[in-house]
Amino acid sequence: MHRGTVTVFDAARGLGVVLSGEVDYPFHATAIADGSRSIAVGSAVSFTPIHRSGGRLEAGAISPC
């Protein structure tokens, strides 16, 4: 598990970004582990980096800390 902070979340699109260290991990609202589909910008979270097609990394299994 990695730790980071939600720096962007667009509820209308369901897209966001978690910053961990100096790496941005994009995510979709379906990656929020509690099923809420919403998370506040500035929230401290734990997550699992997931390799997606094209070699990019995304945040998965996102849980508030």
CA distance 54 to 16: 19
Choose which CATH entry (2.40.50.140, 2.130.10.10, 3.40.50.720, 3.30.450.20) describes domain 2-64: 2.40.50.140
Strand ranges inside 1-65, DSSP E:
2-10, 15-20, 23-28, 44-51, 57-64
CA distance 56 to 42: 23
pLDDT, tens only, 2-57: 999 999 999 999 999 999 999 999 999 999 999 999 999 999 999 999 999 888 99
Q: Which two tokens stand for residue 56?
A: 């990019």
Give pTM, 2 decimals.
Answer: 0.93
